[in-house]
Amino acid sequence: MVDVLVIPDGAAQPPRDGVPTAFERARTPVLDALAAEGAVMRVLTTPPGLPAGSETGISTLLGAPPSRPIGRGWVDAAAYGVEVPEGMTPWRADLVYRNGKRGSVRQARDICSHLRPGAHAVRGHRLLLLAAERPADRRMLGLQLRVWHDGPPPEGSIPATVVICAAGAAAGCGRLLGAEVVVPKGATGDLDSDLRAKASAAIRASTKRIVVHVGAPDEAAHRCDRDGVVAALERLDAELLAPLHEAVRAASGRLAVCPDHFTDPFSGQHGDAPVPAVVWGAGVEPAGPDRLTERAAARAPVVEPNELAAVPAGAL
């Protein structure tokens, strides 16, 4: 039996009157078929009292729901292969303008050159700072350096799992929880990511529990690019779900699709409400609505984090 979970990061969106969500707008025939033939539910990927975010939601979906806020610096260090010396803590930091617009890769590298040693430009506007104590927020080169909160790394034991993703939250959470992490060539975590390469890697994986993470919906939503989220879901459907659907069917396995959290494309902020999800395949009876959308799934049952193992797709 092969279980495959696809995580479209931040793809769920809070419904607004008269405004369709990305799931409602996107043309996703494969996802529609999974919903019509499978079980649609809602999953509480953010345990009560914790902040919504990929480090929380992905850890929960991997089978290790956190009990306290995770330090995103530990996740980034694991994702990008940054060694943390004894006595040091890795701190994630964002480089932004006063209006919230993100700084550039070049600006992040320039900032690192002023902060070294212990400063790493890991991706886009994001930095990783190694320090014994929390570095102070500061203004540098006309931008604001905002340091995230501290916290422990993800902890727990999960079944043998292969995580297929770009360098980022899924890679870091996967490595810290003991999963095998595969980063295919061309996997960027954004709209230009090579989803066919991720599908091929999933089909070639030897383990029976496979997780494929797609970061593009969340990245587009943080940029308040509503059309970009729709485009990301349509590409995911055609280039990732279509080949996985056939491969899982041939293996008599199960395929699940579940975002890790809500991301509002108007504000760019995360939300902690239960996300719509679908499980399809061997032993799964049709249940719930025939489309995977936030409004359609509003009355679907909610699966609590500690009940994920009971979902009829292994541990999701």
Does residue 195 sit in the same domain as residue 260?
A: yes
Q: Is residue 261 part of a domain?
A: yes
Name residues whose C-beta falls within 8 Å of residue 239's C-beta, 6 or more positions apart in sequence. 195, 196, 199
Does residue 90 sit in the same domain as residue 219?
A: no
Q: Is residue 315 part of a domain?
A: no
Does residue 225 sit in the same domain as residue 281?
A: yes
The encoded tokens of residue 49 equal 């009292």
Q: Cβ–Cβ contacts within 10 Å for residue 252, how many?
A: 11
Does residue 237 sit in the same domain as residue 170?
A: yes
- Report pLDDT for 304: 66
Q: Is residue 316 part of a domain?
A: no
Q: In this structure, what CATH number is given to the domain that contains residue 11?
A: 3.40.720.10
Where a domain ends, among 104, 121, 147? 147
Does residue 221 sit in the same domain as residue 285?
A: yes
Q: Cβ–Cβ contacts within 10 Å for residue 72, how many?
A: 27
Does residue 94 sit in the same domain as residue 112?
A: yes
Name residues whose C-beta falls within 8 Å of residue 28's C-beta, 6 or more positions apart in sequence. 233, 234, 236, 237, 241, 292
Instruction: Please list the pLDDT of the chain residue by residue as tens digits (316 residues).
Output: 468 999 999 999 999 999 999 999 999 999 999 999 999 999 999 999 999 999 999 999 999 999 999 999 999 999 999 999 999 999 999 999 988 788 888 999 999 988 878 999 998 899 999 999 999 999 988 899 999 998 999 999 898 999 999 999 999 999 999 999 999 999 999 999 999 999 999 999 988 899 999 999 999 999 999 999 999 999 999 999 999 999 999 999 999 999 999 999 999 999 999 999 999 999 899 999 999 999 999 999 898 654 444 444 333 3
Q: Which domain holds residue 197?
A: 3-70+153-310
pTM of the model: 0.94
Does residue 55 sit in the same domain as residue 140?
A: no
Which residue type occupies 123?
R
Cα 187 from Cα 191, distance rounded (Å):
10
- Report pLDDT for 189: 93
- Report pLDDT for 141: 84
- Report pLDDT for 308: 41
- Report pLDDT for 234: 98
Which residue type occupies 276?
P
- Return left, alpha or beta for 141; rule: phi > 0 is left, psi -120 to 50 is alpha, else beta: left
Write the DSSP string, the chain. --EEEEEETT-B---BTTB--HHHHS--HHHHHHHHHSEEEEE--S-TTSPPSHHHHHHHHHT---SS---HHHHHHHHHT----TT-EEEEEEEE-TTSPBPPHHHHHHHHHHH-SSEEEEETTEEEEEESSPPPPEEETTEEEEEPPP-PPP-----S-EEE--TTHHHHHHHHTT-EEE--TT--SSTT--HHHHHHHHHH--SSEEEEEE-HHHHHHHTT-HHHHHHHHHHIIIIIIHHHHHHHHHTT-EEEE--SSEE-TTT--EE-SPEEEEEEETTPPPBS-SS--TTTTTTSPEEPGGGGGGSSBTB-
Where a domain ends, among 94, 115, 147? 147
- Report pLDDT for 314: 37
- Report pLDDT for 98: 86
Total tally of structural domains belonging to the chain: 2
Write the DSSP string, 183-233. --TT--SSTT--HHHHHHHHHH--SSEEEEEE-HHHHHHHTT-HHHHHHHH
29-54 residues labelled b (16+ CB within 10 A) or e (exposed): ebbbbbbbebbbbbbbbbbeebebbb
Q: Is residue 282 part of a domain?
A: yes
